[in-house]
Structure 1
Amino acid sequence: MSQRKAMLAFFSSFVRKLPILYTTFVYRRSEFADLGKLAERMRRDISEVLLNHLGFFQSFDDVKVYYDNGQDIVKQALDRSVSQILSKGVVQRRKTSMTDYRLEQVADYLCTIELALVKYEAKEGSKTYNKFFGGIGPFKKNWLKQARSKRMRQTS
């Protein structure tokens, strides 16, 4: 356990130094009448972020979408939103393996931090979370605060 905690801390330090921004979305399946409504909401949320930060995304020569194809509904929402908002010639899609790309590992880490917050707030935090993060207080003060410093700011 101590070796894993140390590796997590080193990875967290690595993430802190990267010039990246991120955003996440949380959906509860039970809040949607069917998968079609959920898919539409995902697509709309992704499109909104892309539109709100269009200048940022257009500042790059290449935009690559990495997704492990774990959930088809997520893949479809990403594909539809990105191809609708960004130029198709700029977007490159890659099927990936977590071990192949550091940025995909970073994305997984940031999603894990955001999911831990959801679990803690729903009083569903596990013993494992507490072992790694030290409970909700230390988690928010350290891990979440560090991750959120990389969060894409909402524009209005």
Structure 2
Amino acid sequence: MAELSVFIDESGNSRRDSKYYLLTLVFHKQDEDIKSSIGTYEISLIDRGLVNIPFHINPLLRGNDVYASVSVRDRVRLLSCFRAFANKLPFKYHTFSYEKRLYENDAELFGKIRRDLVLFLFDNLDTIQPYETVKIYYDNGPEEVTRVIHSAFEYALGRQGIVYRNCPPTRYRLQQVADYACGIELASLKYERATSGATEALFFGTWREFKKNFLKKLRQHAV
């Protein structure tokens, strides 16, 4: 049975303390094995004396949560290792990006997200429809996002063949790839709008370095 996995992650929130809202979808064909790549990545962490913890880009950049006791130097190295791992994986992704000041309220923002997601799915039906099962992995985040995901996928593809999975980021490496892609696209927005700061400079370098070392390589996987 041909299966397509869709891992979904977001960046930002519906409150006004976040300038941007991003939703990233990572697509992976289940018959494309990634176990060897995961093994190589985890061995690389051991070889470098780095902790093997689930990748989460926002805490990594800020040094909180599980990264609170990890030095800046090692967090930079962890980011580098995960970047190399993600760049070699067989996946495609798409990120929807929004500047929240352009929307009067949450209903308008999430209505726009739903429309954009439906149009994207219709534009890619020839790629998605051949799969008997589409498994959607999401970590049961904000209720509005869950509603948008269910509504858009079921409108475009129908309910039959869609399977939903609660997906804690700690469980699946591809969910962590979605988190990584979301974080890189957010950093790109900040660089483009001259709102990047010391954190981006420390981990990504200049805008030119960021484009060369992170953005260009990630977007080779873009849909």
Task: Give TM-score scaled by structure 1 length.
Answer: 0.90
Take 2:161 and 2:197, find their aligned partners in 1: how far apart are those partners?
Answer: 42
Instruction: Determine the structure 2 residue equivalent to 1:118.
Output: 189
Length, aligned pairs only: 152
Moved more, 15-24 or 64-73: 64-73
Instruction: Determine the structure 2 residue equivalent to 1:66.
Output: 137
5+ long unaligned stretches in structure 1: none
Instruction: Determine the structure 1 residue equivalent to 2:128.
Output: 57
Show the 5 A alignment for 1:14-53: 14-53=85-124
Asked if the contact 1:42/1:74 (under 8 Å) is kept, the reply is no
5+ long unaligned stretches in structure 2: 1-71
State the 1:20 CA deviation. 0.8
Question: Does residue 1:78 correspond to 2:122, yes or no?
Answer: no
Take 2:204 and 2:128, find their aligned partners in 1: how far apart are those partners?
Answer: 33
Percent identity over paired residues = 37
State the 1:71 CA deviation. 2.3
Name the SS for the 1:64 alignment partner: strand
Asked if the contact 1:64/1:93 (under 8 Å) is kept, the reply is yes
Name the SS for the 1:94 alignment partner: strand
Question: Does residue 1:88 correspond to 2:159, yes or no?
Answer: yes
Take 1:17 and 1:63, find their aligned partners in 2: how far apart are those partners?
Answer: 23
Take 1:85 and 1:125, find their aligned partners in 2: how far apart are those partners?
Answer: 36
> Alpha carbon RMSD of aligned pairs, Å?
1.3
Instruction: Determine the structure 1 residue equivalent to 2:75.
Output: 4
Take 1:20 and 1:138, find their aligned partners in 2: how far apart are those partners?
Answer: 24
Name the SS for the 1:98 alignment partner: coil
Greater helix content: 1
| Equivalent residue letter for 1:39 | F
State the 1:10 CA deviation. 1.6
Moved more, 45-54 or 66-75: 66-75
Greater strand content: 2
Instruction: Determine the structure 1 residue equivalent to 2:59.
Output: none
Name the SS for the 2:137 alignment partner: strand
Task: Give TM-score scaled by structure 2 length.
Answer: 0.65
Name the SS for the 2:163 alignment partner: strand
